[in-house]
Amino acid sequence: MRLESVTAELRPRSEWESVDLGLALVRRDFAKLSAAWWIGMLPVLLIALPLLRDHPFWFSLLFWWWIPVSSRLTLFKLSRILFGEDPKMKHLWKELPKAIGRRFFFRMIWARASPWRPLTMPVEDLEGLKGKDYSARCRILLRRGDSSVIMLAMWRLFLTFWLALALFFTGMLFLPQNAQAEWGEAMSLWWEVEGLVPPLGLSVAIMLSLCVSMWLVDMFSVGAGFGIYINHRTWIEGWDVELAFRRMANRLQGMAGAILVGVIGWMVTPAQAEESESKVVIEEVLAHEDFEIHTETIKEPEPWRWEWLEKLFGGGVGSAGGTGMDALAALLKFLVIGGLIGLVAWLIWKYRHLFAGRGGTRAPKAQARAKVVMGMEVTEESLPDDVAVAAMEAWRSGRRQEAMSLLYRGAISWMIGKGGVEIAESDTENDCLGRVKTSQVLHQEYFGSLTTEWIRLAYARQIPSDETIESLCRNWPFRERGAA
């Protein structure tokens, strides 16, 4: 182990920060570590894929049981990468038998379900301890507390199943619909029918999601456990201080050499050359990236503060040192305030009749006359002088839709212009009819029957009879044109 070539920053961290460091380590070398992990799983794949192909449950059980071997190879690779080495494939192959055989009974059977595995595995793998030494070492490492290790174990358990669920359902989205329905049915019957054999495809899909999920969760938790391990050792052995002292020693030794060289150089070179040389040196130094000016524009937030909220909550909210109890107290306040607001709203609702009737009925605002209703132009200019004659002509020449639309548009146009009915551009046929009926305008009956015929033609494609059209044209009441 060479601390100088470490590839991550060593510093005493809080528990969760050390977990984060471990996750970041795995992320950085994700591909390499995955290769190491699957090399560890290779024996299971080789044996189980031919033999247990039809027994997905036993396959996933074997897969789960074999995980520590994969974790060990991952840890092997990860720890060496951290200290600046990069073991090749052949090293991993050589490590594989050791990863299987090392303390087989303890790791694979006795302590297989141990929640401390991510933290204790580095002790036996990297420090090579056994028996009493091992347990003493683990105790020392755990002296700083094992809350994060236990939390990590719970996360591992939860995430393995949760992620498997997510993967499975994502996969199901891509299935053809009949297979989807079949699987859904099989799953709903799973619990009800005793001894039901689910379709093999379904069990294989569940198994695959579980295996992928176990792989990802285990690889990242090896990293997280290693992060905790490194952090605990940094605390109890002062790795960061040692590293800083080593760097200082390097600098001081280098400085001693540099002073010597400088003195000799000053003795043999004339002062003028020195001056121009120093200029070069200065330029060189200034060219270093430390002197580069980086600019980045950052949007400073508006001081968006709920001052009233802050006042209500008092110091508890504003102060950064609030504890969980403060938060709880604030939550209670929040509930009380919410309740008060709700009460006021309820009171307003209950006595809403007090507010009604105030202000009287306002005279409706005079609106601009609609020019287009239901997508049809209804201005007088857009219509022929004698609508009924034009409509009859259109009907006779077979343009029935046009004939009816002429009549209807003409009627609407008259209602707007002459009758003074307020028709909005967004009104439907029924709205128009309703408005006409509520107004005091003439020819309401005619407009009603015209609307009925129009709706039948426009929406149901029921062509009115010739007699209907003839009577509509003959009785056309809207000959009077122009606004009053």
Partner 1 sequence: MSTEASQNRLDTLQPIELAEGVEVRLRIAGPLLRGGALGIDLAIQWAFILLAGFILSLTGMVVGGLTAVGLISLMWFFVWWWYPVFFEAGPWGATFGKKILGLRVVQKSGSPITFGQAVLRNFLRYADGMPFLGFGVMGIPTFGFGVGVLVATQRFQRLGDLAAGTVVIYDKVPPEPVVPSPPALETIAPPMALRPEEVKALSAFTDRAGLWSEGRRIEIADHARELSGSKGAAGVTRLTAMARWLQERK
How far is the C-alpha of 433 from the C-alpha of 443, rounded, in Å? 12
Neighbouring residues of 226: CB distance < 8 A, sequence distance ≥ 6: 22, 25, 75, 78, 79, 82, 118, 122
Angle, CA of 478, 363 and 411, to the nearest 5°: 15
Name residues contacting partner 1, limited to 139-198 (CB under 8 A).
Answer: 144, 151-152, 155, 162-163, 165-167, 169-170, 173
x/- site string to partner 1, residues 292 to 331, per CB under 8 A? Answer: -xx-x-xxxxx-xxx--xx------xx-xxx-x--x--xx
Cα dist from 310 to 317, 320, 344, 412, whole Å: 6, 13, 21, 60
Q: Candidates 18-26, 189-197, 456-464, 469-477 — which segment interacts with partner 1 by CB under 8 A? A: 18-26
| CA dist., res. 443 & res. 455, Å (int) | 18
Binding of partner 1 by 50 (CB under 8 A): no
**Shortest distance, CB of residue 287 to partner 1, whole angstroms?**
14
Q: What minimum distance in Å lies between the beta carbon of 318 and partner 1?
A: 6
- Rounded-to-integer distance, Cα 138 and Cα 116, Å: 10
Which CB atom, from 274 or from 310, has the smaller least distance to partner 1?
310
Q: 19 or 383: whose CB is closer to partner 1?
A: 19
Instruction: Enumerate residues 233-262 that contact partner 1 by CB under 8 A.
Output: 235-238, 240-242, 244-249, 251-253, 255
Nearer residue to partner 1 within complex by CB, 105 or 349: 349
Our CB check for partner 1 shows the closer of 152 and 472 to be 152
Instruction: Figure out which of the listed residues 98, 258, 346, 430 binds partner 1, where binding follows CB under 8 A.
Output: 346
Q: Which amino acid is at 404?
A: M
Of 462, 448, 376, 36, residue with least CA distance to 223: 36
217, 163 contact by CB (below 8 A): yes
Candidate residues 286, 335, 341, 344; the one interacting with partner 1 per rule CB under 8 A:
335
CB of 326: closest distance to partner 1 in angstroms?
8
Residue 270 or 324 with smaller CB distance to partner 1: 324
Contacts of residue 175, defined as CB under 8 A and 6 or more positions apart, other chains included, come to 183
Residues 54-73 binding partner 1 (CB under 8 A) are none
What whole-number distance in Å separates Cα of residue 37 and Cα of residue 45? 12
Q: What is the 3-state secondary structure (H, E, C) of 61-120?
A: HHHHHHHHHHHHHHHHHHHHHHCCCCCCHHHHHHHHHHHHHCCHHHHHHHCCCCCCHHHH
Q: Are 330 and 313 spatial neighbours (Cβ–Cβ below 8 Å)? A: yes
Q: Which of residues 80-139 bind partner 1 (CB under 8 A)?
A: none
Of 78, 72, 63, nearest to 94 by C-alpha is 72
Of 164 and 469, CB closest to partner 1: 164
Residue 372 parent element (H or E): strand 372-373
394: exposed, middle or buried (Cβ count in 10 Å: 0-12, 13-18, 19+): buried
Q: How far is CA 38 from the centre of its chain?
A: 29
Q: Which is nearer to partner 1, 78 or 472 (CB)?
A: 78
By CB under 8 A, the residues from 389 to 418 that bind partner 1 are: none
275/307 with CB nearer partner 1: 307
Nearest approach, Cβ of 446 to partner 1 (angstroms)?
40
Residue 34 CB, nearest distance to partner 1 (Å)? 13
CB of 16 to partner 1, least distance (A): 5
Residue closer to partner 1 by CB (options 152, 450) is: 152
Name the segment binding partner 1 (CB under 8 A); options: 71-79, 230-238, 406-414, 417-425.
Answer: 230-238
Cβ proximity to partner 1: between 176 and 482 the closer is: 176
6, 129, 142, 458: residue in contact with partner 1 (rule CB under 8 A): 6
Which range of residues in 16-24, 60-68, 102-110, 202-210 is near partner 1 by CB under 8 A?
16-24
